[in-house]
A = this chain, B = another copy of it.
Amino acid sequence: MILSQTEENYLKTIFKLEEKFSGSISTNAIAEMIKTTAASVTDMVKRLRTKKLVDHEKYKGTLLTKKGSAIAKNLIRKHRLWESFLVEKLNFNWDEVHDMAEQLEHIKSKILTKRLDEFLDHPKFDPHGDPIPDENGKIVYQSEILLSELKQNQTALITGVKDHSSKFLQYLETTKLVLGAKIKVLDVVDYDSSLLIQLNNKKEFRISEKVGNNLFVKSKSVI
């Protein structure tokens, strides 16, 4: 089946909403994420239903079928492989690659995806710490704890970001709070929930509650 880029983007969006919420996805949620109107979503969801890519009953919300879900996962696989390529091979920063990957994910060639994966040595995570689905669509989710959930004296590694905005990624870049960095929580300030942390056993500095709420970490003992 040949799908348009638009159809593919809808499938990916619905998949991400299913990951985030459980149960069927509202027309409005899709419209908001894809930045279009509810009317357009209703139209598209109907088309995807006739192609057996989603289940949808009037006024009851939308869910991907097995087939739709498989396509969505393959798109996410391609997106994250291309992001890895851009960072690992073309020396881009992690905050520069999303928009390019958004285009590259639509390149249709099974063998190209396979060769790219080999070229990159079968990476398991993309530059933002997100898991790359395998050829069969299997996704190994990290047990994700927010940095803000850590208690005093706990140590952890940064494994991912919740907020993918360039602004946030650039903040992380300048403060060296990058993927794989080691963090120890020295103090939690009761008043504003800000944290005093130590980075890679060296520099100590404070981060706001907002930053702590948007960084995923893996408690060191789990590694």
A interface vs B, CB < 8 Å? 86, 89-92, 96, 99-100, 103-104, 106-109, 111-112, 115-116, 119
Find out whether the CB atom of A119 lies under 8 angstroms from the CB atom of B90.
yes
| A86-B112, A104-B107 known, 9 other contacts, Cβ within 8 Å | A89-B119, A96-B111, A99-B109, A100-B107, A100-B109, A100-B112, A103-B107, A103-B109, A104-B104
Please indicate the chain B residues that have their CB under 8 angstroms from the CB of A96 in the complex.
111
- Per assembly, the copies of the chain total 2
Please indicate the chain B residues that have their CB under 8 angstroms from the CB of A111 in the complex.
96
Please indicate the chain B residues that have their CB under 8 angstroms from the CB of A106 in the complex.
103
**Nearest Cβ on chain B to A207's Cβ, whole angstroms:** 30
A-B CB contact pairs (8 Å), 12 listed? A90-B112, A90-B115, A90-B116, A90-B119, A92-B115, A96-B111, A100-B107, A100-B109, A103-B106, A103-B108, A103-B109, A104-B107
The closest CB in chain B to the CB of A91 belongs to: B115
Closest 3 CB pairs of A and B: A90-B115, A103-B107, A100-B109
CA distance A86 to B116 in the complex (A): 9
Please indicate the chain B residues that have their CB under 8 angstroms from the CB of A109 in the complex.
99-100, 103
The closest CB in chain B to the CB of A96 belongs to: B111
**Nearest Cβ on chain B to A99's Cβ, whole angstroms:** 8
**Nearest Cβ on chain B to A213's Cβ, whole angstroms:** 31
Please indicate the chain B residues that have their CB under 8 angstroms from the CB of A116 in the complex.
90
**Nearest Cβ on chain B to A22's Cβ, whole angstroms:** 35
**Nearest Cβ on chain B to A87's Cβ, whole angstroms:** 11
The closest CB in chain B to the CB of A109 belongs to: B100
Of A91, A96, A99, A107, most buried by chain B (CB within 10 Å of CB) is A107
Please indicate the chain B residues that have their CB under 8 angstroms from the CB of A108 in the complex.
103
CA distance A112 to B91 in the complex (A): 10
CA distance A91 to B96 in the complex (A): 27
